[in-house]
Amino acid sequence: KIDKIVIIECGTDFNAGLVGKYAIEKWGNIPVDVELASEYRYREPSLDEKTLVIPISQSGETMDTLMALRYAKSKGAKILSVCNTNGSTIARESDSVLYTHAGPEIAVASTKAFATQLVAMYLIGIEIGRKLHTLTKKEIEVICEEVSQLPARVEQILETVEPLRETTRKFKSAESILFLGRHVGYPTALEGALKLKELAYMHAEGFAGGELKHGPIALIDENVPVIVIAPHDNLFEKTVSNMQEVMARKGKVILISDRRGIEQAGNKAWARIEVPAVDPFITPLLYSVPIQLLAYHTAVVKGTD
Ligand code: BG6
């Protein structure tokens, strides 16, 4: 009976929600909006009882998200929240909850909660695809297999952190760091920039590769590291051409890609970070690991709290 989904949230959760939108629209063929709760709650958006609202919150207590949820409820929408904290207010006020079970987040920056929010988004997307028959049994098996391989692949990345540490030493003097990605690489880029702000107190921006020419290019010179998220997928060539535009302005490219991507475009980059090859929709979860580590090591090098 649902004809529209609205995902509402703040901060990191927004980036997980954006990945959710891409996955749910592709796998479930249903329109999905992603909204910042702090905007949504004040603008009287249009929704009704045929809308499914998905609030995402690690703590389950963020006031803007809670107020947006209450607004949606008052309009008759069904609420399925994605929360990490058992029994939190957002969880209690929802029709149903998908708990992410990441354990408590100790620091301000959401890290493992983000990873589990992505898995929650994949599960919702798969379930909708299964119910609406927009995904075949085989497709569901393939995605589930990719998701179940994630712990081993994350371990693989964690074993190769040394080059990352080296890269971040070079960041110390940068005044600004940019992140660029396409498709679900775009929310991954937003997340990378947010982590640098939260942990290393640095100016950082993430943007969609296609937007490079519409403004951000003006910021690039030899002092600006640009982290390019470029899995070897059907948009790889386009992202590589963005990378070339950055390099033409002497920007320092740190390429994050899989083996094929690194082999094809890595020699031109200032630094390279290799991650295992996965289904394009799963890349945000894997690519966010080196991105979180970049922020962490930059914070250590800079001596921020
Ligand atoms: C911010 C945190 O203050 O709150 C972010 O710095 C977090 O990391 C955001 O994503 C939202 O919090 P929550 O608990 O609703 O997920």
- pLDDT, one tens digit per residue, over 59-70 is 999 999 999 999
3-state secondary structure of 179: strand
- pLDDT, one tens digit per residue, over 102-122 is 999 888 899 999 999 999 999
**What is residue 46's predicted lDDT score, i.e. its pLDDT?**
95
Atom of ligand 1 nearest to the CA of 11: 10
Task: Identify the band that residue 93 occupies on the pLDDT scale cut at 50, 70 and 90.
Answer: very high
Q: Does ligand 1 lie within 6 Å of residue 11's CB atom?
A: yes
Q: Does ligand 1 lie within 6 Å of residue 65's CB atom?
A: yes
Task: Give the whole-angstrom CA distance, residue 104 versus residue 91.
Answer: 16
Task: Give the whole-angstrom CA distance, residue 78 versus residue 69.
Answer: 10
- pLDDT, one tens digit per residue, over 121-134 is 999 999 999 999 99
**What is residue 115's predicted lDDT score, i.e. its pLDDT?**
96
Residue carrying structure tokens 């020419």? 213
- pLDDT, one tens digit per residue, over 15-24 is 999 999 999 9
Q: Does ligand 1 lie within 6 Å of residue 191's CB atom?
A: no
Ligand 1 pocket: which of 35, 54, 58, 97 to mutate (most atoms <8 Å of CB)?
Answer: 58
Task: Identify the band that residue 78 occupies on the pLDDT scale cut at 50, 70 and 90.
Answer: very high
* Neighbouring C-beta atoms of residue 152, cutoff 10 Å: 9
Q: Tokens at residue 133, please?
A: 């028959």
233-244 mean pLDDT: 96
Residue minimizing CA distance to atom 15 of ligand 1: 57
Atom of ligand 1 nearest to the CA of 62: 15
Ligand 1 pocket: which of 7, 8, 9, 12 to mutate (most atoms <8 Å of CB)?
Answer: 12
Please say if the pLDDT value at position 168 is more than 90. no
- pLDDT, one tens digit per residue, over 261-274 is 999 998 889 999 99
Closest by CA position to 181, among listed 126, 238, 266, 262:
238
| Ligand 1 centroid from CA 63, angstroms | 11
* CA 35 and chain centroid, separation: 14
| Ligand 1 centroid from CA 32, angstroms | 22
**What is residue 108's predicted lDDT score, i.e. its pLDDT?**
83
Q: Where are the alpha helices (DSSP H) in 94-149?
A: 112-131, 137-148
Task: Give the whole-angstrom CA distance, residue 85 versus residue 101.
Answer: 8
Model's pTM, two decimal places?
0.96
